[in-house]
Amino acid sequence: MKQFTRAALLCAAVLPGLAQADDCGEVSITEMNWASASVVTNVAKFIMEQGYGCTVSVVPSDTVPAITSVAENGEPDIVTELWLNSTGEVYERLEAEGKVVRAGKVLDPGGVEGWWIPTYLAEAHPELKTIDGILAHPELVGGRFNNCPDGWGCRIVNDNLVRALDLEGAGIEVFNHGSGETLASSMAAAVQNGEPWFGYYWGPTVPLGRFDMTRVDLGGYDKAAHEANQNPDNPNPKVSDFPAAPVLTSYTADFAEREPEVAEMLGKMTFRTDAMSSVLAWKAENNASAEEAAVYFLTHYKDTWSRWLNDAARTKLSALFSQ
């Protein structure tokens, strides 16, 4: 499969005739410094270049620097995989001032986080799909909750939930991992051995793409309780599940006016969160680059991306991925 992705990339590089140079001008797009964002950027870049004839420059960035650059310089044109919860009030101010346009969700339902168990455990013991079932049968999940490392935002929320649910009083040890690597490896080791595992994780990520996991129902989302649980000094933590984090594509108002057809495509560019996790798992297992992972997505999810494009771009891209 990796040989195919390399061939497809080479094919695209030597077929500039697929896109007319006057169709689209120069476009700049962020590439955030995490795996899913890099895949999103490379999918968008491939589509813009081969489908719409854009000359695309990629700007390595992170959430805060990207928004700061848009606020101060009006560029880059496109900011993708923008986790709205991490932007503070700056992004909302830019929207209110008409400087940026919210294209739409780039991840659906968004960034997911929660408490999980292996699906084989949920199938063997359906009562474990709810937190009440786990509290009643802690031995079935191995008597351990795998928590986030210190310093992570999820650690604060989890610590409050642990107190609200009295996990330790129910006989569940809280194991605070020292790093994201050990948290991920604990899941991998348990699932590969068919053993119980219970803990926090988020997506899109490689482990949630590689392993079949079931999210534990914590009893619904309570906005006030969840916001209070983000305070490490919460005196009275209450139980709330995690909401999906809104993750957007956004572009400048100038870009929307300059390249309306590309802007329309970006507004439709939505990846299912679980599908992105699967792409990331393939990327890790094949030691593939972000460019190769983008071609893997374009090859295997044609029914998804073809709905984003106008007729001309769809015809051009379909010529590359018709095999």
Q: Which of the listed residues 230, 265, 282 is the one where a domain comes to its end?
A: 230
d(CA 134, CA 280): 30
pTM (2 d.p.): 0.88
Percent of the chain as helix, strand, coil, to the nearest 5: 55, 20, 30
User: Taking every pair of C-alpha atoms in the chain, what is the biggest distance, in angstroms?
Assistant: 67
Structure tokens at 152: 């992570």
Sheet holding 55-61, edge to edge: 55-61, 26-32, 78-83, 247-252, 100-105
Q: Please tell me whether residues 117 and 224 are part of one structural domain.
A: yes
Which domain covers residue 178, as residue numbers?
Answer: 112-230
CA dihedral 82, 85, 87, 89 (to 10 degrees): 140
User: Which residues, including other chains, have CB under 8 Å from residue 304's CB and lie 6 or more apart?
Assistant: 271, 272, 275
Q: What is the CATH number of the domain that holds 212?
A: 3.40.190.100
Mean pLDDT value across the chain: 92
Q: Which of 195, 230, 265 is the last residue of a domain?
A: 230
Q: Is residue 140 part of a domain?
A: yes
- pLDDT above 70 coverage of the chain, percent: 93
For residues 76-80, average pLDDT: 96
What confidence tier does 15 reach under pLDDT thresholds 50, 70, 90? very low
Phi, psi of 283 (to 5 degrees): -60, -45
- The reply to whether 123 and 225 lie within a common domain is yes
3-state secondary structure 291-304: HHHHHHHHHHCHHH
In a domain, 18, yes or no: no
Residue 21 reports pLDDT greater than 50 = no
Model pLDDT, residue 224: 96
CA–CA distance, 161 with 239 (Å, rounded to integer):
6
- Whether 2 has a pLDDT exceeding 80, the answer reads no
Tens digit of each residue's pLDDT (9 = 90 or more) over 33-68: 899 999 999 999 999 999 999 999 999 998 889 998
313 in the same domain as 270: yes
Q: What is the pLDDT of residue 9?
A: 54
Q: Specify whether 190 is located in the same domain as 139.
A: yes
Question: Does the pLDDT of residue 14 top 50, yes or no?
Answer: no
- From the list 262, 245, 243, the residue with the least C-alpha distance to 313 is 262
Residue 61 located in a structural domain: yes
The domain that holds 59 is classified in CATH as: 3.40.190.10
